[in-house]
Amino acid sequence: MADMKTFCGRTNPITGALDWAEESEEYDYHQEIARSCYADMLHDHDRNEKYYQGIRAAVARVMARGEKVFVLDIGTGTGLLSMMAIAAGADFCYAVEVFKPMAEAAQSIVEKNGFSDKIKIINKHSTDVTVGPDGDMQVKANVLITELFDTELIGEGALPSYEHAHQNLVQDGCEAVPHRATVYAQLVESELLWSWAQLQPVEVEGGRLVPPPAVGRCAGAHAVCDVQLSQVSPSSFTPLSPVCTMFSVDFSKPVSSAFQCHSTQFVAQSDGRAQVVLSWWDLHMDPGGTIVCTMAPSWTYSQPKRAPWRDHWMQSVYFLPTESRVTEGDQLSLTVCHDDYSLWYSLQPNSQQDTQAEAPPSRPCCTCQAHLVWTRSRFGELNDRRRTESYVRALHSVLRDDGVCLAVSDGSLLPVIAHMLGARKVFSLENSRMSKQVVEQILEANAMSRGVELLEVRPEQLTRNDLRGEQISVLMGEPYFSTSLLPWHSLFFWYCRTALSGLLRPDAAVLPGAASLHMLAVEFQDLWRIRAPCGNCEGFDVSPMDEMVQRSLDFRESREAEPHPLWEYPCRALTQSAAVMTFNFTQCVPQQPISSQGSLPFIRTGRCHGVALWMEYHLTDDITVSTGLIGPISEQGDCEWSRHRKQGVYFFRSPWQSPGDGRRQVSYSFTFQPSSGDIKMDFSITA
């Protein structure tokens, strides 16, 4: 019988067409491996060293009691912590890993290091593991090692896993590494961070666009906002509280996954608007708390440059359900609640504590739909005054008194702004019912429902009847689409413009009129670690993991760029930035491919880890909006990146050394395929 092929339909984010691609378990396997960030964890020397110290101490305590040491390692990953336990003197280790490719990698690594007789890899979820003569484990463990944590500490199901382990898999009074976790929080006022949660009023030509009341009252999305807080300057927020200890979890004792609340009282340090809670946690690897692995941002350190970098664990930003005024000296109470997977915060005066104890704060839930339609970075983009001013100036230059505008962007304020600037009629295509309803709320709040008509229809299906017989004089877009991951995915606007060409006046203006793809060769301060081979980690050979990741990368048809928010990941420019490809939106998408080749000389010394890529949109001949670099490159090569969009990063398989004398250069080749919307790219070093 012939093998059955499976085909999966996906909407192409650039062309908008439904593409059918052959799928297989093999493809999914390699995709999972290629996207894994185990290299980041293996390169985290601070994490590994603290775990090793804690494991040696725990094993020594059990041995000192005259007991054999049986270890349970939940979420073993590469098997590194299990090997540490055996090297520390443990008698046997049960290493549990639910993800099959990682369990296979762990088995290879354990065998390569000669530990296969003392480490058993169990490819199951820990809650399915059994103990007994015929079970997965022969005996219950007296040392519990785990790495089940995420940025929010408990988001990967740590509490239910610990709860089950203490009930079924470990002995009473077992040693645990880590021994304890402690969660910290700080209440702040921050215009920058609050702009990621609430739509702010927009000033347009003396008029004012106000957010809908329902959006202002909404508690927002419940999901945590995880960021590299070290890259959020302390000058961008005002602390209203000290750093507060919110709660601790002792992992050596039975753990509960039930709903809980914890409150901390403090005196307000300054006047301000209570808006945002910054949060992070520490792992105490031993009972005495002498071995600590902290997630605190670098600006809490006396020497910030000594703060360890990690991307698998970052810091958390929580937005309060509503902002409130506080005065220096106020007695306040900050409350954190959690279920088995997530945390949320609330603020009350001390006088309300008794009431709060009877009715704990409910988990935030979006009721306005805006927080379901717009991401946090999208909120920030819509609240960017300078960016809005660029669009206002550009619209001014193309609008006519009898102008009829058509907007093509998801959940955009452009149609509202065009109406405020005097457009006779404005139509807007919305890609989803929910997005349409959010914009309808904005129109209603600003009494503009008659001036702007929202159409839930695909561009190629739009007819003149939908436009009430009108011809479009201005086709506009930011462009922004919720389906875009990489910067050039917003070229979907170009395909929409092509589909709509028959509805445009011969002299219609298209805004933006063009876009350009830009590149820059860079040296990353830390981001390179997520793709760097590990080879040896704390004295253990983990090269089978490197080999598996490389095979997975080779399995893909071509190497690809990845989306990353570069404002969170500092890098140095080793070349000048350059526009490497231009797309003319005043014309339809061409039939033939567009190609571009060239080279950029290295002008600064450093290790070139890859290329940063972004789009710039030329609204008019003299007004450009960048989704990448937003300021000049410093003399040292430091870059300032837009916080609103992710940039593309193409990692080289191994770093290239830049002499910085201009004699070596990075050569590039780009090809845009109109039929698929793909941009193929290739790079090399030339003398």
Q: How far apart are the first and last CA of the chain?
A: 55
- Claim to verify: residue 173 and residue 218 sit in the same structural domain: no
Residue 621 has pLDDT above 50, yes or no: yes
Indicate whether 198 belongs to any domain.
Answer: yes
- Claim to verify: residue 600 and residue 668 sit in the same structural domain: yes
Indicate whether 507 belongs to any domain.
Answer: yes
- Claim to verify: residue 216 and residue 89 sit in the same structural domain: no
Which amino acid does the sequence have at 359?
A: A
Q: Tell me how far apart the alpha carbons of residues 88 and 91 are, in angstroms, rounded to a whole number.
A: 9
Q: Tell me how far apart the alpha carbons of residues 368 and 444 are, in angstroms, rounded to a whole number.
A: 14
Residue 93 has pLDDT above 90, yes or no: yes
Residue 249: which H helix or E strand, with range? Answer: strand 244-250
- Claim to verify: residue 213 and residue 319 sit in the same structural domain: yes
- Claim to verify: residue 170 and residue 213 sit in the same structural domain: no
Handedness of CA 400, 401, 403, 405 (dihedral sign): positive
Indicate whether 661 belongs to any domain.
Answer: yes
Q: Tell me how far apart the alpha carbons of residues 364 and 457 are, in angstroms, rounded to a whole number.
A: 32
Least confident of 35-44, 85-94, 169-178, 350-359: 350-359
Q: Which of 151, 180, 209 is the last residue of a domain?
A: 180
Indicate whether 543 belongs to any domain.
Answer: no
Indicate whether 359 belongs to any domain.
Answer: yes
Indicate whether 375 belongs to any domain.
Answer: no
Residue 34 has pLDDT above 90, yes or no: no
Percentage of the chain beyond pLDDT 90 is: 84
- Claim to verify: residue 336 and residue 257 sit in the same structural domain: yes
Q: Tell me how far apart the alpha carbons of residues 635 and 426 are, in angstroms, rounded to a whole number.
A: 46
For 488, the domain range is: 384-511
- Claim to verify: residue 506 and residue 640 sit in the same structural domain: no
Q: Per DSSP, which regions of 477-622 are E strands?
A: 504-511, 514-524, 536-537, 540-541, 562-564, 571-573, 578-584, 594-601, 606-620
Tell me the pLDDT tens digit for each residue of 474-493. Answer: 999 999 999 999 999 999 99
- pLDDT, residue 352, reads 59
Q: Nearest Cα to 346, choosing from 257, 275, 243, 240?
A: 275
Which amino acid does the sequence have at 474?
A: V
Q: Tell me how far apart the alpha carbons of residues 75 and 122 are, in angstroms, rounded to a whole number.
A: 10
- Average pLDDT of the chain, as a whole number: 92
Reduced to 3 states, what is the DSSP secondary structure of residue 91? coil
Considering just the CA atoms, what is the radius of gyration of the chain in Å?
28
Catalytic residue among 23, 32, 156, 453: 156
Q: How many domains does the chain have?
A: 4
What does the DSSP assignment read for 445-479?
HTT-TTTEEEE-S-GGG--TTTTTT--EEEEE---
- Claim to verify: residue 126 and residue 165 sit in the same structural domain: yes
Q: Which of 368, 397, 421 is the last residue of a domain?
A: 368
The residues, ordered by sequence, that sit 6+ positions from 450 with a Cβ below 8 Å of its Cβ are none
Q: Which of 146, 163, 180 is the last residue of a domain?
A: 180
- pLDDT, residue 557, reads 44
Residue 318 has pLDDT above 60, yes or no: yes
- Claim to verify: residue 360 and residue 392 sit in the same structural domain: no
**Hunting for tokens 């909404």 — which residue is that?**
218
Indicate whether 452 belongs to any domain.
Answer: yes
- Claim to verify: residue 362 and residue 437 sit in the same structural domain: no
- pLDDT, residue 547, reads 80
- Claim to verify: residue 507 and residue 518 sit in the same structural domain: no
Q: Which long-range contacts (CB under 8 A, 24 or more apart) does 11-15 make?
A: 11/483, 12/676, 12/677, 13/481, 13/483, 13/484, 13/485, 13/489, 13/492, 13/677, 14/488, 14/489, 14/491, 14/492, 14/495, 14/676, 14/677, 14/678, 15/492, 15/495, 15/675, 15/676, 15/677
Q: Tell me how far apart the alpha carbons of residues 436 and 415 are, in angstroms, rounded to a whole number.
A: 12
Residue 293 has pLDDT above 90, yes or no: yes
Residue 355 has pLDDT above 80, yes or no: no
Q: Tell me how far apart the alpha carbons of residues 70 and 302 are, in angstroms, rounded to a whole number.
A: 40
Query: Which residues make beta-bridge pairs with 517?
Result: 581, 615
Q: What is the mean pLDDT of residues 27-51?
A: 77
pLDDT band at 357 (very low <50, low <70, confident <90, very high): low
97 belongs to the catalytic site: no
CATH number where 666 lies? 2.70.160.11
Neighbours of 461 (CB within 10 A): 10
Q: What is the mean pLDDT of residues 162-191?
A: 98
Indicate whether 559 belongs to any domain.
Answer: no
339 and 256 Cβ atoms separated by less than 8 Å: no
Catalytic residue among 147, 430, 478, 523: 147
156 belongs to the catalytic site: yes
**Hunting for tokens 């452009």 — which residue is that?**
414
- Claim to verify: residue 492 and residue 519 sit in the same structural domain: no
